[in-house]
Structure 1
């Protein structure tokens, strides 16, 4: 690996000037007639990107030292000497830090300069996300870099890289899993080492992938046996939402494609043929114990009492949608949905339709 040398002469000159300045401090102050004795005799000032250790030597002991830079670590102070360590540097720009020496009212500053690494990756980000169909991430290499110097540690089997000229090409294969990621470390010889995350997400299932036959899993009352039913999600007229078929009546189901989320909202449904009462799909407590410990059959069809399910991201071929109540429904102790007939301002009866399924609690959908 090559290190920047073009500014080394200037740094040496600046350091020599500083050293001469701090080494000629033993003189009388004409105002106070006080002799200044905190004198730096020698110091290591300049370091390459690899870092290293250095020593500052003073004329006399009895002083304290403090580093003003996080990348300069002080070592032991013994007699007239203090040692320090400069950490490796992976950025291209030169940096300068100070070591402050103090004894009584006297202070001296020693400047430590470090050249930047000449070889590096331009604008490397902390994380890169790529879609499910895969693709290539293109990184720009700066400096005189041989392909054999480029290494990526932690590279998974579904990713590979190659160097073409000044480009590092990181290629990711297509995937059928919801999300996978890897923590990678990019190295250019021993001086440049940077870590970043590689994330590949399946993303939205897509409208057409959600259409189809499902198994509904549910209970119909508190501590009731688990039941299943064959149902379908079919396209609505606008092909932006769905209709859930197979229960007492068809239910509109909203769909948020970006988050793979289905939502059912309590509402008044179309009246079945020959029925005069209103048909209501309500949010229902289902005789679960309430906050006071008492079982309740409370129900409502307010718009805030929704039930939503986001794809569990386990299977793409057989996605599962576990429905959970909204915060409003949870606070009211509700656990599912209930079909009933409403007439004259009163609850008339449960409505089972032709399927006999009028109540679904703690329910989920699994695509066949």
Structure 2
């Protein structure tokens, strides 16, 4: 009998249980690729951003937002800076905390979403975008001239690109409607916008259009269409109030209508969140977070409660971010009516001077 037979016979009498107790183990080594580590330097001081404006997002309804073509003058924030998103301090769920902790810097998000700008944003403007992006309720209270419009538009643009918002209502005073329309064309040209205007039938049709991500309306128009906007089947992903001090009076009709609009996010833009008394701030927060602030709270309590939801910068505070004053001459083409008025004034003026003869002095010219 061979050695092989002996080995076979020696195992023949073993039970099935004995055989199962000797499993065959295969081992192998797996070579993992090296991990790339990216590091950023964070200064001890927290900056907050200013504003500029430009066009970009060409969104298809609510689901598809294709990349837009950007001209050769488009810019992106300078490399090397890392602007982290600024989540609220009151986040409780670990899931929410990890979500913001694992988010890349704002500059990286711009690269991923291929967001270019007509002008390079200032550092404090990037901080403002990071502040708004992370909040469902926020007051951007920068001093006038620091770019609240640009910061709001860029944040809306980023949220739309990441499909976190598909319907935005922007409310502003009537004289500022065309300005917002122009700034969206500059800072977010690919985002479809529509200005609500016209008679009741036309306005109802425009409200129901789903092709435009952003709908722009003035405060007076909201009062006329309040019944529709506060109905159960109307809801916005984001409602933005420009010159939000317009709703500071909680007993006004404008405040009541705005507060009743269903929304997932709410932002208020104002350079004067407190004009006369702390009741003004309570009125604005009654729209952002109903019941969060009370007129019975003292100044210290109001500051402690609202501080994490308000971002305010002054020109003096961000002076180091601002460039020196620039002077630029721009040629402006006159309209046909303006040319006619100019020509008539010139011709009539020359005739009048000629008729005066030697009595003409420099004061008549």
Task: Identify the TM-score tier after normalising by the shorter chain.
Answer: under 0.3
Task: Write 1 or 2 for the structure with the bigger share of strand.
Answer: 1
RCO (CA 8 Å, sep 6+): is it higher in 1 or 2?
2
Task: Write 1 or 2 for the structure with the bigger share of helix.
Answer: 2
Tell me which structure has the larger Cα radius of gyration.
Answer: 1
